[in-house]
Structure 1
Amino acid sequence: MTDKKVSSEKGEELQGLGMPFDVEALYGMNQKFYKMMLSCNEELMTFGRNRLKEDLDMPQKLAECKTPQDMANVCIGFYQTAFKQYTDEATQISKICAEVTAEAPEIFKLPGD
């Protein structure tokens, strides 16, 4: 049987895995990555909640219409707002993803690199 050294001290090596292993670095890496992913998810959830509210308000707005022109205006306004919000959201998500991509080399840097 081979003797394997297992240690989680900084700079030590897990010989069973054959790679440097730094628990503190991994903790910091994961923490930063998860915070960035949390901001992305939070942005998407906020957007979804706001769009759902707009969608659920639509039947009431249509019920209040008196003429076909009123109905057309409500529909046009709804879709114009939706397209603008989706475009703005795509821009926001792109910015967040660009930040994650820019940070990736630092976040996923292996000990000793």
Structure 2
Amino acid sequence: MEIIFIDQVFSQIVYGQYEKDLSAMATKQKLQQLDDVFNYINDAYYEAENILGYKEVKRALEQCLLFIEEPLASVTNEDFIIYLSYAKTRLREAEKTIAEELNEFNLEPA
């Protein structure tokens, strides 16, 4: 089974400025999925950091969540877009790596 990070839930994060509840929920779901996949891969491979870019992607999603939940935070709309774009690009790379190199583990989508 392939891991899909970039899906309809991920696409709801972009509404952060306008649909805060929906966007916050989507961001939290993706953070949880990232943690779940990280733990699963790390238990088997010890390469989860490299495969997922875990620390950087987690930080980017946390900054998106900060922007969504705290309008007075130092994260600007431009920062939000940059963080979201980085997370999307890096998670797409992770999806590809998992599909090509880790498929023998039959990872279940989180």
- TM-score class, shorter-chain normalisation, is 0.3 to 0.5
Q: Which has the higher helix share?
A: 2
TM-score normalised to structure 2 length: 0.36
Q: Could you say which structure has the larger radius of gyration? A: 1
TM-score normalised to structure 1 length: 0.36
